[in-house]
Amino acid sequence: MIKKVQTFRYVITRKIWKNGMNKKTITLALAGLFSAASANASDNTKLLLSPTISKNHIAFVYAGDIYRTNKKGEEVVRLTSHAADERDPHLSPNGKWVAYTGGYDGNSDVYIISIDGGQPKRLTFHSSRDTVIGWADDGDSVLFTSYRETANGRTGQLYKVSVKGGLPQKVMEASVANGDLSSNNRYLAYNPHHPAHAGSSGWRNHRGGTTPPVWIYDLKENSYKEIPHVNASDTHPMWVGDKVYFLSDRSKHKRLYSYDDGKIKQVSKNKNWDITSADAYGREIVYSMGGELYIFDSKKKRSKKLDISLNPDLPQLRASWKSAMPSLTNAELSTTGKRVLLSARGEIFSVPIKDGATKNLTKSSGANDRDGLWSPKGDELAYITDENGLYQIVIADQFGKEQKRFAANESVADARLLHFTGDGKQLVYTDSKMNLWLLELDSGNKTKVMQNINMNGFNTAVSKDGKLLAYTKTNDNYFRDLYVYEIASGEHVKITDSMSHSTSPAFSPDGELLYFASSTNHGQSAFFLDMSTQENPQRYGLYAAVLKADGKSPLLPKLADEDAVEEKSTDDKSAAKDDSKEAKSDKKSDKQEVKPAIDAQGIETRIVALPVPQRFYSSLTVGDDKNLYFVENEQPGSSIETSGRALRDASLKRFNTKKRKVEEVKSGVFNVRTSHDGKHLLMLSQGNKLSVGKVGATVKAKAINTGGVKALIEPRQEWAQIFTEGWRNQRDYFYDANFHGLDWQKVYEKYQPLVEHVGRREDLNYLMREMISEMEVGHNVVYGGDGHREQRVAVGLLGADFVVKNNQYTVGKIYTGENWNPHLKAPLAMPGIEVAEGDVIHSVDGEPLTGADNIYRLFTGKANTQVRLEVSKTGKQEDAKVVVVETISNERMLRHWNWVEDNRKYVWQQTDGKAGYVYLPNTTTAGYTNFNRMFYPQTDKPSMIIDERSNGGGQAANYITDVLSRQYLAGWKYRSGDMILSTPAGAVYGPKVMLIDQDAGSGGDFLPYSFSRMGLGTLIGKTTWGGLIGVSANRNFVDGGRMNVPHFRFFTPDHEWRVENEGVKPDIDVEQDPVLVNQGKDPQLDRAISEVLEQLKTFKPVRHTVAPAMPKELGK
């Protein structure tokens, strides 16, 4: 029954399943290779992906490894078993090799492996992402796409590399996402760009601009034609004889189609599942659908399903102990500061500050337990769990023993715990419907305090006596007002007047003062989505509201007379005794009138500004020393590091209420909380590092030992929880509660059975992407999580192209760093580095280099370090000299900036200086920076070309359209000099055009939409992506993975849902003709130049360059 088919490997034939041995596991492996089929394996394993076919075999991917089987699915052999990602398998034409993309050493490169297994051979070494798409030259070369020389865009270029090794050859300059060469190597059927449903994005039936066609390029004649295309995604083109087959969702499901003699024919009729990938050999096509494999016979016009059973040893399925700290979500000190309660990795941990052991109080790998809180007395804790599929609030003792459980909401909604009230009798929490709640623990009664108008709009605090709840609420002007809710009476008292933006409330220990931060310059930063919020200083003052009418300001004048001070002290003691007597009297008489804890009348006149500079403050809290502690954050835009990233720093400060000045407490603190007794501070620093110290002017912080914060992870349990929580996230946060009419419960029932087939965390993301793609919207993405992470072995780069001539490596183009970018490093362009274009490189660090080798192999592991090159101008070894160069790890930005600068210079040249050129990579920080960097120095030009192709979005670029729409208002003349000043100075008043394409989306959709709607100019290029449903408000998964759920959507002033899933169409449609691109041209940019020049012919300048004649009369 066991058939020997190789000298080193055994496989189990299908007869085993039919001979009654399905209860017994048989696993045979030799030379480190595992036979994937086993006697107790599932009858039909699913989530089999990326199949490829040859004359006798099929290869496919399961759980990140590559397998091969015969065409009956009866013999399955595991070819790869590395923990790194192995994907995109393609069987060679002769069926002897499998080419695939390997993610070893943290890189993405081309490998080949024998169909019989063994050691794979690495063919590429560049640090850029290389992706295998097929074979060329009758199996002598592997086809792959790469971004190594892509200066701009989201699609790479096509290369081929010999199976013997050496420097890969670029097939053509035009972009290629996927494709297949005809058997005679003449015709390339390919996609010029990727579909919208790719990577981390789930988006079925996309109908925006990112719907790739299939083009057939004649590599001999340098011409191309397009397979008849509709606004749908045509992908995975493949040759079957002289016909091209491809996948398309033009009929609402992704099905198989054929193209021949100008006609397109649908050849599959799948209804429940999309075909996700396909490959062809001879007359047969293998494809994956619903996680299972099928073979389509193009002659017989029918498909058959392969029943493939696997039971491999998968490392990610092993239960293992892991640190929970990377997934820390909440931390809170106990009442006395002896322990800290951590919520991490879906567990609640009690961690000692000094003595004792770390305790996992929940131990629930299949549930997400979070938001752990200590009660004020320290004898109880609260947390939220989804253990039973619903969000419930659990009350437990300090050892984790459950005492009570409450449903967080009567209707489905996510919930987040915020505080115990100061008396420990109630809990404060919010939900995904933007409600603020109080839960009474004795009765279980819930009180809805307030509903906000935006997500995460509540900043809250509770008074120590349990009488008051402070909260912020967002107004229609986007400013937050501060309120105090008196719990006993249910009265809401508005503290601020809507003319400032208030955050971070904190009660004094006696409950008589409410501290908070408030900003009066918040206006430009009010709505996070607007680009006009970029780099605005966040100036907050610190304030104290005196809550009682007879209360005292913390800034009352100091008395110079010492006797008076003592009298004050005596009065205070007397008052304290009176208060004590009154409290005892209150206990004796239940009928005595209860005085309100806050006096609403005149509260606006009892707000006191503390004498502190206005800066960016957060995390206010008050210690038992009655001093105010807070974090001062780095101001936006105040500094850019040489790495190109903004400086992020913060420090803990305190306002000394006696000395009435700000004191530095500790640097590097980003968040701070006090213990319930106010005697200790819990501080958070970068890297989730926690420390504790006693309140005071200088804190002797003790780092909390979180080494014991570990959880036993049962992957299948955790993955099932993550999958269900992902489904609930959509249910609770998606902007349309009706899901556009989709039955979301049925979607769950369709995909949930596949969870048991998940063999690694990355495939859980794949499954969730397929699930959320049913919603057919943009910005619905899944990524991250606790998958395998390879330790990166970075490859050093020199910022240059290379050419092999006469079996030697010659330096091609050397890329230079843009003058005003200190973080952009160009190794060979540095003054003093004596390497020029055309020089020959003989060796790298003493290792000889010939044309038969791959130069990047010699730079493996040598990124950002010095290397010694032997270089000559003659190509002769005896003429070589040694040059020491410091490499870089990534040259994408170097190539990008050279492309941008080449475009700018080209526009200047072609327009004789009449037009400027600005490139916008996105509509967030980089786009804002690029616009300011490029636009204002070119405002002396009468016209402007704005290039937003491949714009990655980010924010609504109102800042850019505001600047572009500026009208000429005035000129100004000095007595001397010829220059006439203008108001506004930073403006271009003449013709403007904007370049757009299918890879520009999100904010890259909104920018051309607003540009067009405001009548600012002409749009040229291709329809944009079409994604204007907003990003996310839900929390991360327990393992740090992320699902971005669209929770708001754009509509026009005409009250119409637009742009989403349709894109922004150009006024002038221009294709990036691959024939012209291969000639080094940019058809879209050339069309923009001609359009600007044409419009300039009729443009009448509005800006005066000469002042009027001087007045000759007094008073004129």
DSSP 517-583: EEESS-GGGSSTTBGGGTT----EEEEEEE-STT---TTPPPP--HHHHHHHHHHHHHHHHHHHHHH
Classify domain 800-888 by CATH architecture.
Roll (2.30)
Say which CATH topology domain 324-451 has.
Methylamine Dehydrogenase; Chain H (2.130.10)
pLDDT of residue 200: 75
User: 212 preceded by cis ω (within 30°)?
Assistant: no
Distance CA 350, CA 891 (A): 46
| Phi/psi at 832 (5° precision) | 100, -15
**CA of 579: how far to CAs of 423, 425, 571, in Å?**
19, 23, 12
Q: Using CA atoms, how far apart are residues 327 and 955, in angstroms rounded to an integer?
A: 27
Task: Kindly tell me the burial class for residue 403, based on how many C-beta atoms sit within 10 Å of its own C-beta (0-12, 13-18, 19 or more).
Answer: exposed
- The whole-number average pLDDT for the span 204-227 is 97
18: pLDDT strictly greater than 80? no
Residue 726, H or E segment:
helix 715-733
What average pLDDT does range 367-394 have in this prediction? 94
Region(s) of the chain under CATH 3.30.750.44? 715-783
Rounded to whole angstroms, the maximal C-alpha distance in the chain is 115
Mean pLDDT of 155-183: 98
Residue 43, pLDDT score: 72
CA 357, CA 372: separation in Å to the nearest integer?
18
What's the CATH code, domain 458-556+602-678? 2.130.10.10
Among the listed residues 201, 303, 1002, 1010, the single catalytic one is 1002
By the 8 A CB rule, do 1092 and 990 touch?
Answer: no
* pLDDT, average across residues 970-984: 91
d(CA 67, CA 508): 66
C-alpha span between 55 and 70 (Å, rounded): 10
List, by residue range, all CATH 3.90.226.10 domains of the chain. 893-1027+1063-1096
The three-class DSSP label of residue 151 is coil
Of all residues in the chain, what percent carry a pLDDT higher than 70?
Answer: 92
The amino acid present at 136, given as its one-letter code, is: A
CA gap 720, 365 in Å, rounded: 10
Which residues fall within 8 angstroms of residue 388, CB to CB, at 6 or more apart? none
Find the mean pLDDT for residues 305-320: 96
CA atoms of 78 and 11, how far apart (whole Å)? 10
- Quote the CA–CA distance of 1006 and 1018 in Å, as a whole number: 15
pLDDT band at 1062 (very low <50, low <70, confident <90, very high): very high
The CA-atom distances, in angstroms, between 670 and each of 640, 684, 699 are 19, 6, 15
Q: Which of 692, 685, 764 is nearest to 722 (CA)?
A: 764
For residue 639, what pLDDT band results from cuts at 50, 70 and 90?
Answer: low
Could you tell me which residue, 591 or 43, shows the higher pLDDT? 43
Say how far apart CA 95 and CA 318 lie, in whole Å: 34
pLDDT band at residue 560, thresholds of 50, 70 and 90?
low
pLDDT digits (tens, 9 = 90+) for 627-636: 999 999 998 8
Residue type present at position 1060: E
Q: Residue 130: enclosing H or E segment and its boundaries?
A: strand 130-136
The single-letter DSSP state of residue 1079 is T
The answer to whether the CB of 517 falls within 8 A of the CB of 528 is no
Contact of 216 with 189, CB cutoff 8 Å: yes
Residue 817: per-residue pLDDT: 85
Question: Rounded to an integer, what distance in angstroms lies between the CA atom of residue 971 and that of residue 987?
Answer: 13
Q: How far from 736 is each of 322, 476, 1044, CA to CA, in Å?
A: 38, 21, 15
Which DSSP category does 749 fall into?
H
- CA atoms lying within 13 Å on the CB side of residue 788: 22
Pick the residue with more confidence: 16 or 159? 159
Q: Model pTM greater than 0.85?
A: yes
Whole-number percent of the chain with pLDDT over 90: 84
Question: How far lies 214's CA from each of 88, 192, 226, in Å?
Answer: 20, 7, 6
Picking from 427-436, 574-583, 696-705, 1063-1072, which range would have the lowest pLDDT averaged per residue?
574-583
Instruction: Give CATH 2.120.10.60 domain extents, the chain.
Output: 2-314
Q: Which regions of the chain carry the CATH code 2.30.42.10?
A: 800-888
**pLDDT on residue 29:** 31
Which tens digits make up the pLDDT trace of 110-148? 999 999 999 999 999 999 999 999 999 999 999 999 999
pLDDT of residue 1084: 99
On whether the CB atoms of residues 471 and 460 are closer than 8 A, the answer is yes
Active-site pick, 501, 779, 842, 896 = 779
Average pLDDT rounded to a whole number, residues 471-482:
94
* Structural element, H or E, at residue 930: helix 925-935
pLDDT in tens, 987-1002: 999 999 999 999 999 9
CB 378 within 8 A of CB 398: yes
Start-end of CATH 2.130.10.10 domains in the chain:
324-451, 458-556+602-678
- DSSP output for 224-288: EEE----SS-EEEEEEETTEEEEEE-TTSS-EEEEEETTEEEE-----SS-EEEEEEETTEEEEE
Clarify whether 1060 is annotated catalytic. yes
Q: Is the pLDDT of residue 1066 over 50?
A: yes
Question: Out of 74, 770, 1060, 1091, which one is annotated catalytic?
Answer: 1060
pLDDT score recorded for residue 14: 32
Tell me the one-letter amino acid at 895.
R
What confidence tier does 1058 reach under pLDDT thresholds 50, 70, 90? very high
Q: What is the mean pLDDT of residues 244-249?
A: 98
**Mean of the per-residue pLDDT values of the chain:** 91
Q: What is the CATH number of domain 2-314?
A: 2.120.10.60
pLDDT reported for residue 410: 67
pLDDT digits (tens, 9 = 90+) for 409-464: 766 688 999 999 999 999 999 999 999 999 999 999 999 999 998 877 799 999 99
Distance CA 426, CA 1064 (A): 51
Joined together, the tokens standing for residue 230 give 């509709």
Q: Does domain 893-1027+1063-1096 have CATH number 3.90.226.10?
A: yes
pLDDT bin (cut points 50, 70, 90) of residue 386 is very high
Contact 622, 610 (CB under 8 A): no
Range 206-231 average pLDDT: 97
| Mean pLDDT of all residues in 889-917 | 97
Say if CB 244 and CB 264 are below 8 A apart. no
How far apart are alpha carbons 496 and 515 in whole angstroms?
A: 12
Top mean-pLDDT range of 37-41, 526-530, 568-572: 526-530
Q: Are 1055 and 738 in contact (CB under 8 A)?
A: no
The pLDDT of 779-787, averaged and rounded, is 95
Out of 84-93, 212-221, 401-410, which region has the weakest mean confidence (pLDDT)? 401-410
Q: Would you tell me how many other CB atoms lie within 10 Å of the CB of residue 562?
A: 8
**What is the CATH code for 715-783?**
3.30.750.44
